[in-house]
Amino acid sequence: MERAVTQPNQILLDVKNLRKFFPIRRGILQKVVGHVRAVDDVTFYINQGETLSLVGESGCGKTTTSRCILRALDPSEGTVMFYTEAGTTLDVARLPKTQLQPLRRQMQMIFQDPFSSLNPRMTLLDIVGEPLLVHGEKDSNKRTERVAELLKMVGLRPEYMRRYPHAFSVGQRQRIGIARALALNPRLVVADEPVSALDVSVQAQILNLMLELQEKLGLTYLFVAHDLSVVKHISDRVAVMYVGRIVETAPTKELFYQPRHPYTEALMSAVPKPDPRLRSKRIILQGDVADPANPPSGCYFHPRCAYAMDICKEKTPVQEEITPQHYVSCHRAKELTLRGVVEK
Ligand SMILES: Nc1ncnc2c1ncn2[C@@H]1O[C@H](COP(=O)(O)OP(=O)(O)OP(=O)(O)O)[C@@H](O)[C@H]1O
Ligand code: SF4
Ligand SMILES: [Mg+2]
């Protein structure tokens, strides 16, 4: 199943130059001796109704980016413009805490680990109904009705609502997490590795459920994953992150057909390929992922890049739109021909 490429339409979320640095403290006086550059100048947008996937190795800043967007963390710099239901534009990064509550209805999160994100002492009714209560639904009958509707929507039986999370399988728990995230009719759903803890067959069920719900409810997804093969069938566009930065963003098919950044090519070489003509040797990257507390000069990828030249050590590449909607941060993006994994 391939998804149609989205035409540029109305932007729901516009993130510009987002940075989040965590101080590193040492000694009895807890003096700040440096910073972890967890998110380091990230720029992207998500159109209404589309899925943008954010992909990269562990520690590259995916969760920190997601948490800054939802203001679970205060960004160090940058803007996070969100187009609200009321037709206004708000910078989530700068909004006073008191004004965040109404906005939270419109932006919700699904977590990786359905175990730890659900309170074991609460019934499904309490878990899924809690956001309704927090946002002012005092009528318990109405809450129960809405919870029943939500459970049905995610493929669970409403009769289960008096049970506790331990009575359910991991896949069912992820369905509960999705029901809770949808309780308030959000417009943007940030899903942080929602299927990474699941078996492959259950992964497919949850991904299909997410696609169905997107179509039915007109949801917009920011989908976080460390694995390109997971995002291939569900994303309209994919953004690839490396050490706090987005190195490449493109419509899914284009990224898989013709990656333009050497790091994307390396990630791509690990994706299983059904077509034998497209099978190539897996690119094993030399060295370790750079330390975000002490990143290399110039292009952060240069110590591991097979195509690096002198300029790569000296100058930080800027993000350029190489073809429509295909953004790359690499000095050599226009001249390199890199290997993808699908035919056009
Ligand atoms: N609260 C924090 N204090 C200090 N450093 C942090 C904090 N949270 C994250 N980091 C660091 O920021 C970097 C990015 O972390 P983040 O969790 O965003 O990565 P990730 O891409 O989500 O990784 P994973 O795939 O493992 O979930 C890492 O080096 C991490 O150690
Ligand atoms: S800028 Fe240079 S080091 Fe960085 S990815 Fe491009 S070619 Fe490689
Ligand atoms: Mg994470």
Averaged in consecutive runs of 10 residues, what is the pLDDT profile of the chain (344 residues)?
A: 49 97 94 95 96 96 97 96 91 92 91 82 95 92 97 96 94 95 96 92 95 96 93 95 97 94 92 68 81 95 96 96 96 93 69
Alpha-helical segments (H) within the chain: 62-69, 100-104, 114-117, 124-134, 140-153, 170-182, 200-217, 228-231, 252-257, 262-268, 310-314
| CB atoms inside a 10 Å sphere around CB 212 | 13
How far, in Å, from the CA of 22 to the mean position of ligand 1?
A: 9
Cβ atoms of 327 and 254 within 8 Å: the answer is: no
At 87 the pLDDT is 87
How far, in Å, from the CA of 67 to the mean position of ligand 3?
A: 10
At 156 the pLDDT is 97
> What single-letter DSSP state applies at residue 289?
P
* Distance from C-alpha of 181 to C-alpha of 17, rounded to nearest angstrom: 27
Per-residue pLDDT reduced to its tens digit, 269-304: 888 776 666 666 778 888 888 899 999 999 999 999
Pocket test for ligand 2, best of 300, 305, 314, 329 (most atoms within 8 A of CB): 305
Residues 6 or more apart whose CB falls under 8 angstroms from that of 25 comprise 31, 32, 33
Ligand 1 residue neighbourhood (C-beta within 6 Å)? 22, 36, 38, 56, 58-64, 226, 292
How far, in Å, from the CA of 261 to the mean position of ligand 1?
A: 23
How far, in Å, from the CA of 264 to the mean position of ligand 2?
A: 11
Which residue's CA is the nearest one to ligand 1's atom 29?
Answer: 59
For the chain, which domains are there?
11-106+186-328 (3.40.50.300), 120-184 (no CATH)
At 2 the pLDDT is 41
Per-residue pLDDT reduced to its tens digit, 123-160: 999 999 999 999 888 999 999 999 999 999 999 999 99
How far, in Å, from the CA of 340 to the mean position of ligand 1?
A: 29
Distances (CA, A) of 66 to 33, 71, 178, 183, 238: 26, 9, 17, 20, 15
Cβ atoms of 222 and 69 within 8 Å: the answer is: yes
Degrees (nearest 5) of the Cα angle 330, 65, 263?
30
At 276 the pLDDT is 66
Residue found under tokens 């800043």: 61
Distances (CA, A) of 20 to 45, 76, 315: 18, 5, 22
At 344 the pLDDT is 62
Tell me the residue length of the chain. Answer: 344
Q: Measured in whole angstroms, how far is the alpha carbon of residue 292 from the centre of its chain?
A: 19
Pocket test for ligand 2, best of 248, 297, 299, 318 (most atoms within 8 A of CB): 299
pTM for the whole thing? 0.93
